[in-house]
Structure 1
Amino acid sequence: MLDESQKPCCLPLKEEFQRSKFSLHHDDPRVFCRSQWQRGDRNILWLLYRWIWAAFFAGGVIGSLVNSYNGGTWFIYLTDWGFTLCFYACTYGAVVATIYFIKPSYFAPGSVALKIYWLSHYTTVVIAMMITLVFWAALYPSMPEMGAELYNLWAHAFNSIFMIFDCFMVAFPTRIMHFVYPFAAGITYGIFSLIYFWSGGTDFMGNRYIYFILDWERPGLAIGTVFGCVALVSCFCLCVFGFYRLRLSIYNCCGRKQVEIPETRASTETVQTA
């Protein structure tokens, strides 16, 4: 098997576009429970890191719900969906790390729990980046007074910063073909906004739209927004893969060699017989 550092720079990207890369199976469950940078199987600093992130986002979600519930309209905003995803993914990761710390042999290859963690983490990072860009590029200019609000920064800036940072800390790989999961999340929200409009729903100020760029009374604008977000998701999926490759490059430059373990048994057999 080739060491990651010995592969041509274009080969990893080419290898991503295979049907097997849609799979969420991975033969080494440890990569979902450990940091790329830790030594040994168990590391208390990694465990603390995971729970600090979980507590950080938990505080944001709970505080926002208390201050901005607004008769339940808190639940209609993509910002709050995305921030809740950050809380969910980080808490899930903390639970996984805790279980592994207590009993390293607990997770088996192909564990459903780890598959859920893998797809939720990837989806969360991509959606967080999209929320950040769309807010600051399209929404913030019409509401500049919100720029300095703590929750606004928390949910539209810190979300992406911290999730991207986490991409450089985890040990599991990123797969471009997992783009289907953030796509599904984005399309789900688009359909939800349309159903909400059809059912007569309003935002907390009584407007017939959730976001003015997603106003279904102007279907051209709304559809354009949906397709624009789909394009952004595509770009951010590539970005997250780039973060993963950069993480491996930094790891290799630090004198440690990363040998990637194939996700599927089929791919393992291919490597062994090559």
Structure 2
Amino acid sequence: MFKLSLGLLRSTQTGMAVAQRGLRTYTRYAYFSLNDKKGRQGDGDSQIPALYTPKYSLTHDRVEDMVLSQWSNNPVLYATYLTVAAAYFLFMVFYSALMGTLGMYRYVMLTYWSYYMLTASLLLRTANVWRYITLRNRGRDVYAMMNNTTALKVQWLLHALSCMAAPIVTILFWTIAYDGSGVNFINCNTHGVNAAFILLDTFVTRTPVRLLHLLYGILYGLIYGLFSAIYWLAGGTNHKGEPFIYKPLDYSSSKTVAVSYIVVIAFLVVPMIHCMFFFLYRFRIFITRFLRTMDKRTDGKINPKL
């Protein structure tokens, strides 16, 4: 029994040591990776990049980061993936409108604001990728015709907002707004599939994440909070005839509580969610560079002259 306990203790200590080395390695990488110029993902060259400067703008100097997958330089595969995703979410927009029970009230709900924004983001991303493919196949100058265009900037903005809004909508619905009325296909898609897709897409796309883009998410939350207050002042109700859109935003019961919800979500929850996606983005780049390094080492062992 003593030997078994000693062996278990040694195994635990070994595991903790490995975990600590891994955490130190990733922390060191995450710190120095901020030296990437404008959040550039790099292509493995030996050039020393300029010091990273945090930016809130939507300008970016690499078209490929907006129209390619992290794992492949083949735009057709990525375009196919986006086309299928955009078609599905567009189908759900019409399906929820025809088969849902909310009627016109869905247009005042944060759920559908965010769902329509995600759908618009996917449609624009799909269009931009296919345009990139068309221009490249025709031998046109892709950078001259697409770099920092309004279409790419709007795509990046919608993508950033969707990454913040979809998880928040899902969390708030199942923890606060859900009234126990039952789970159906539409509920699962508008408060589950959207967030799951955003999480998956974060590891598929090459789109960078900038920390200061959280300002757009904060503004989005404040705009919806202001809209909900104006809607209440105008005598608006939800689909059940109650004088609020969501129960937490019941200004007639307590304006302080309603405003507190808006402030907490906008200035605390939104930054937390965005920072989580920034971490996932940096982790995605870490995996990419790690695999690239391993490939180079393997090639070097096979043929030292390479």
CA positional deviation for 1:70: 4.2
Which residue identity lines up with residue 247 of structure 1 in the other structure? R
> CA 1:222 to 1:63, structure 2 compared with 1: closer, same or farther past 3 Å?
same
Preserved CA contact (<8 Å) 1:29 1:111? no
2:131 pairs with 1:96: no
Pairing 1:244–2:284 present: no
| Structure 1 segment 1-274 matched on structure 2, within 5 A | 8-12=29-33, 20-39=54-73, 42-68=74-100, 70-104=102-136, 105-106=141-142, 107-140=145-178, 143-146=179-182, 148-217=183-252, 218-230=254-266, 231-255=268-292
Can you list the C-alpha shifts for 1:182-238, whole angstroms capped at 9, x where unaligned? 112111111110000000111111100000011111212211110221111010110
| TM-score normalised according to structure 1 size | 0.84
- What per-residue deviation string (whole Å, max 9, x for no partner) do you get for residues 68-121 of structure 1? 364511101101111111111111111111101111334433222111111110
1:113-163: CA deviation from partner (whole Å, max 9, x where unpaired): 1111111101111011111111112123xx2233x2111110111111101
Aligned length: 248
Q: Tell me: higher relative CO, structure 1 or 2? Use CA pairs within 8 A at least 6 residues apart.
A: 1
User: Do the aligned residues in 1 keep the contact of 2:66 with 2:206 (CA within 8 Å)?
Assistant: yes
What percentage of aligned pairs have identical amino acids? 26
State the SS of the aligned residue for 2:166: helix
Instruction: Report the structure number with the largest CA radius of gyration.
Output: 2
Q: Look up the match of 1:260.
A: none
Q: CA–CA distance in 1 between the matches of 2:82 and 2:63?
A: 17
Q: Contact (CA 8 Å) 2:68, 2:129: kept in 1 or not?
A: yes
Counterpart residue type for residue 76 of structure 1: V
TM-score, with length taken from structure 2:
0.75
Report if aligned partners of 1:89, 1:121 keep a CA contact under 8 Å in 2: yes
Greater mean alpha carbon deviation, residues 248-257 or residues 201-210? 248-257
Q: Conserved in 1, the CA contact under 8 Å of 2:118 and 2:158?
A: no
| Alignment deviations for residues 242-270 of structure 1 (CA, whole Å, 9 cap, x no partner) | 1101111121222269xxxxxxxxxxxxx
**8 Å contact 2:66–2:152 — kept in the other structure?**
yes
Q: CA RMSD in A?
A: 2.3
Gaps of 5+ in 2: 1-25, 40-51, 295-306
How far the C-alpha of 1:181 sits from its partner, in A, is: 1.2
Structure 1 segments, 4+ long, off by >6 Å, are none
Note the C-alpha offset of 1:29: 1.1
Q: Which runs of 5+ in 1 are unaligned?
A: 258-274
